[in-house]
Amino acid sequence: MSPALLDARLVVRRDAFRLDIELRIAPGETVALLGPNGAGKTTALRALAGLTPLVDGHLTLDGRDLSDEPPERRPIGVVFQDYLLFPHLSARDNVAFGPRRHGMDRTSAHAVADRWLDRVGLAGYGRRKPRHLSGGQAQRVALARALAVDPVLLLLDEPLAALDARTRLETRGELRRHLAAHPGATLLVTHDPLDALVLADRLVIVEQGRVVQEGDAATITARPRTDYVARLVGLNLYRGRGSGNTVTIAGDFALTSTDSVEGDAFVAFPPAAVALHPSRPDGSPRNTWPAVLADVQHHGDSLRLRLDGPISVAADVTPAAAARLHLEPGRELWVAVKETETRAYPGDG
Amino acid sequence: MRTARVPVPLLVPAVLGLIFLVLPLVGLLARTPWSTLPARLAEPRVVEALRLSLLTSTMATVVCLILGVPLAWMLARASFPGRRLVRALITVPLVLPPVVGGIALLLALGRRGLVGQWLDTTFGITLPFTTAGVVIAEAFVALPFLVISVEGALRGADSRYEEAAATLGSTRWTTFTHVTLPLVAPGIAAGAVLCWARALGEFGATITFAGNYPGITQTMPLAVYQTMESGDLEGAVVLSLILLVVSVAILAGLRDRWLTAP
């Protein structure tokens, strides 16, 4: 990995909540800070921007210590969740605002603004006030405004959350192009795994103020380490103790896998790999146990079932299979998971 | 369409209250000497008082804006020890009888007052019984209206715009002038009108601190009072009518802000 452009340990305390995360981002790299609501993602972004003070830690950007600098002296651009375009200024003056504050004269700042508006595909929209822009256009103006000050670090707070589904799809692709062109570091805060997977080179997962997992998309989707990540990528995940091909999860309940693992271990399998039988299946595959149906929900074209038993498990079945099984809450079923469908991997490291 | 029946115990006092508020205005209009009105309006005494009133209340409003907007900003945006106390102090002139305010001003800025003494000996400036004194008396009474109104506007404005400005390299002062002020401009305008109206109607503090000299300190309300005292009821009615017209004009100007019920 190339030397980090951003090197930070952010410690922020707010009432009972404590954020303590370390972040390193290389030049040109886009990192997604992904986590559930209330995990501290936005707090981390605000701390980087200088809008929330650090109680501990450090913040170095491009070799410069920024921990005590006020926001206006940090070479950082922010795209806020609801954009916060100044309502009294035109799109062009919004984009020119940063360059003007950095000492550029009006004419040059307007030239810079026009160039950025052109780059985000909004040439000719410069005279419009924010209230006359669509959501997607406002998002692009906000991006242009943040980039117009040539930030070393670009911060994006849920940049697509305020858009409707179709606009989001278009804007996501475009945003990806702009982030790839940005020579500095980029941190993207999101709770949408798709945004993170499409836009970021690396994911950092935050839960309750701490980093619980980080790595590239492939690693994280294949080997989730918390329930939250497992749900994000749609896997059943259990932690236990591995011994050979067996991982013991609760009491004497164990799952077998074709992978071999020793000591602290995770075992994961997709809901689609779960087979359900009205009675104990013949030929008894290794991972078989009785369970009770707790909940049924629509999930795309299939039904997602939640079953209680020695372990709680999510299973996807087709509507046809569901009809055959007479699904109703409280129904007892047998669960089977082929050992070739489960993945086991070490829990520490 | 079915309209809900208004209970009589609510309806009767409500109607009485309305009559109570409107009746005096009707009386004023009924006794207005419409035929001699143009001639009376042109009387030098009336013109002089009106000119002085408009001048002093406008200047008082300017003073209030210069001092009040920063004060409102401090209350709304800065955190400092004793902020609650400061806000309490600001509201004192609001509830203080204006006559008492006038006496307090005399004791502070009068020739032998706390600061007035020093102003007199060092700069030869005397404030009481001058037009400047009128402006000070009016500003003293009107300032709380402006501060409270602008503070409300500032609290209502989304301070995250100011954070966005900071991330774009804007200092707090530039953010104030380029972002905050434009965002709360309607609130400041409303506060200024309220402040101006209060200054225009000021009587107690003015007559106590600045006296009642025609052409120098005799504003419209003072002229109404003196005309009435001298037994010229018709003259007092004419002057009152002018103040009524100005007040209604202000109300009309602010109707979008206050008269549209939620």
Q: How does pLDDT run across A39-80, given as a tens digit for each residue?
A: 999 999 999 999 999 999 999 999 999 999 999 999 999 999
What is the residue extent of each domain of chain B? 44-219
Q: Are residues A107 and A199 in the same domain?
A: yes
CA quadruple B21, B26, B31, B35: dihedral sign = positive
Kindly list the residues from chain A whose CB atom is less than 8 angstroms away from the CB atom of residue B167: 49-51, 71-72, 74, 76-78, 146
Q: Hunting for tokens 């991972």 — which residue is that? A: A287
CATH number at A192 reads 3.40.50.300
Burial profile B116-145: b = 16 or more Cβ within 10 angstroms, e = fewer: beebbeeeeeebbbbbbbbbbbbbbbbbbb
3-state helix, strand, coil in chain B (%, to 5): 75, 0, 25
A220 and A274 both lie in a single domain: no
Give the integer Cα–Cα distance in Å for A108 and A106.
6
Determine whether the interchain pair A51/B161 forms a contact, defined as Cβ–Cβ distance below 8 Å. no
Element (H, E) at A265: strand A263-269
Let me know whether A121 and A77 are in one domain. Answer: yes
Could A76 and B167 be called an inter-chain contact, meaning their C-beta atoms sit closer than 8 Å?
yes
Enclosing H/E stretch for A106: helix A106-119
Residue A187 lies in a domain: yes
Which pLDDT score, from 0 to 100, does residue A107 have? 96
pTM value is 0.79
A93 and A64 share a domain?
yes
Are the CB atoms for A41 and A200 separated by under 8 Å? Answer: no
Residue B147's pLDDT is 95
What pLDDT score was predicted for residue B63? 97
CATH number at residue A316: 2.40.50.100
Percent pLDDT > 90 in chain B is 61
pLDDT (tens digit, 0 to 9) for every residue of chain B, 262 residues total?
556 788 889 999 999 999 999 999 899 888 888 888 888 888 888 899 999 999 999 999 999 999 999 999 999 998 889 999 999 999 888 889 999 999 999 999 988 888 988 888 888 888 889 999 999 999 999 999 999 999 999 999 999 999 999 999 999 999 999 999 999 998 999 899 889 999 999 999 999 999 999 989 999 999 999 999 998 888 899 999 988 888 888 777 776 655 444 4
Residue of A nearest to B184 (CA): A88
Domain annotation covers residue A118: yes
CATH superfamily name and code, B44-219: MetI-like (1.10.3720.10)
Query: What does the pLDDT look like over A224-279, one tens digit per residue?
Result: 888 888 888 788 888 889 988 899 988 888 899 888 889 888 888 988 889 888 88
**Same domain (yes/no): A274, A325:** yes
Q: Within an 8 Å CB–CB cutoff, is residue B163 touching chain A?
A: yes
- On whether residue A76 sits in a domain, the answer given is yes
Query: What is the ipTM score, two decimals?
Result: 0.79
Q: How many helices (H) and strands (E) does chain B have?
A: 13, 0
User: What is the model's pLDDT at position A284?
Assistant: 62
- Is A264 a member of any domain? yes
Residue of B nearest to A151 (CA): B168
> How far apart (Å, rounded) are the C-alpha atoms in residues A302 and B227?
90
Low-confidence residues of chain A, pLDDT below 50? 1
Specify whether the backbone of A109 is left (phi greater than 0), alpha (psi in -120 to 50) or beta: alpha
- Cβ pair A230, A216 in contact under 8 A: no
Q: Using the beta-carbon criterion (under 8 Å), do A80 and B160 form an inter-chain contact? A: yes
Is A67 in the same domain as A167?
yes
Q: Are residues A33 and A70 in the same domain?
A: yes
Looking at the fold, whether A255 and A174 belong to one and the same domain comes out as no
Please tell me the distance in Å from A88's CA to the nearest CA on chain B: 7
A65 and A161 in a single domain? The answer is: yes
Q: What angle do CA A166, A170, A176 make, to 5 degrees?
A: 140
Q: Is position A1 within any domain?
A: no
- Contact criterion met (CB below 8 Å) for B52 and B215: yes
Task: Give the closest-approach CA distance of B20 to chain A in angstroms.
Answer: 44
Q: Which helix (H) or strand (E) holds A76?
A: strand A76-79
Please indicate, yes or no, if residue A63 is contained in any of the structural domains. Answer: yes
pLDDT attached to residue A285: 66
Nearest C-alpha in A relative to B166: A72
Nearest C-alpha neighbor of A170 from the set A141, A196, A147, A139? A139
CB-CB contact of A174 with A140 (8 Å): yes
> Under a CB-based contact definition with an 8 Å cutoff, are residues A206 and A34 in contact?
yes
Helix axes B181-200, B44-77, angle to 10 degrees: 140
Cβ A98–B169 below 8 Å, yes or no? Answer: yes
Q: Where are the beta strands (DSSP E) in A191-235?
A: 202-207, 210-215
Question: Are A55 and A179 contained in the same domain?
Answer: yes
Q: Which of B161, B167, B182 sits opposite A77 (nearest CB)?
A: B167
- Choose one of A164, A198, A227: the last residue of a domain: A227
Identify the pLDDT of residue B10: 93
Is A32 within a domain?
Answer: yes
Q: Considering chain A, what percentage of its residues have pLDDT values greater than 70?
A: 98
Range of the domain at A111: 6-227
Q: How many CA atoms lie within 13 A of B18 on its CB side?
A: 5
Q: Exposed, middle or buried: residue B161 (CB in 10 Å: 0-12, 13-18, 19+)? A: buried
Total structural domains within chain A: 2
Nearest to B193 by CA among B233, B136, B153: B153
DSSP state of B43: -
Which of these three, A227, A256, A278, is where a domain ends? A227
By C-alpha distance, the chain A residue nearest B171 is A72
B166:A80 CB<8 A: no
Asked if A270 and A148 sit in the same domain, the reply is: no
In angstroms, the CA A335 to CA A188 distance is: 40
The reply to whether A196 and A243 lie within a common domain is: no
Q: Does B84 touch chain A (CB under 8 A)?
A: no
A286 inside domain: yes
The C-alpha angle with vertex A90 and arms to A85 and A95, in degrees rounded to 5, equals 60
Residue B255 has a pLDDT of 66
